[in-house]
Amino acid sequence: MNTRAGETWLLDLGNSRAKLARRVHGDPVDVTALDWTQPDFAARMRELAARWPQPSRILVASVARSELADRVRDLLPADAAVEVEWLRTPRRACGVGNRYAKPERLGIDRFLSMVAVRARTGGAGLVIGCGTAMTLDAVSANGEHAAGLIALSPGRMLEALRVETAIAAGNPDAFSGDGGDDTAAALQAGCWSAAGALVEWFAARHHVDLGGAPVWLHGGWSAQLAQWLARDGFPVGVFEHAVLHGLALFCDHP
């Protein structure tokens, strides 16, 4: 193996997919997202490993199920010269403080996205994760994790309605995602409005104590939610690959 000194790989293992990147000049580059369900997952990872300069260090942030994380573990370079770090959420790092009684129980993805947003804003911020679950976290001006919520994503809301109700029986196209009938429109509007309303409430709840902190969305459906919120004139920013950016910053944490 041709291991390059100083070359670092960053891995963000989520519930629905894995993201991989290289760290160059302090930032994640060559970001590649792989769905856990795609049949060529292992082949794609091996292709990346062969194409990228081999690392001396790999940082992994994982909230994936253990069997999925083990798949990745088995595909990583097996070389004594490569340091592989599976991160646990710390009490404090990179200017962000974790107030959980057991700090490791705060998801590492949530912590790293807060690190990334705080580095971007230099102060308070609201961080909304838009993945399999919807996470909402508030970071105070001094870097303390002020509040956090976890809810269903719009996609999971739709799935719950499909499974737990008889809507699909009477409206077979309602959950297709491209239906134009009234039930399909009502389902989409209801689930996206629920997500948007939660973001607006969370921002309003912390408006006074965080001084109107900016709202940043990240994750697979962040752009869609941003568009939905924009219809009401609610200002948000989309921070692509926030967890990977947090990982890149964490590399320099002692």
Active-site residue set: 109
Is the distance from CB of 155 to CB of 147 less than 8 angstroms?
A: no
Pairing of strands 133-139, 145-152: antiparallel
Half-sphere exposure of 55 (CA within 13 A, CB side): 21
81 backbone dihedrals φ, ψ, rounded to 5°: -80, -10
| Residues listed for the chain | 254
> C-alpha angle 24/27/31, rounded to 5°?
85
Which tokens belong to 71? 């798949």
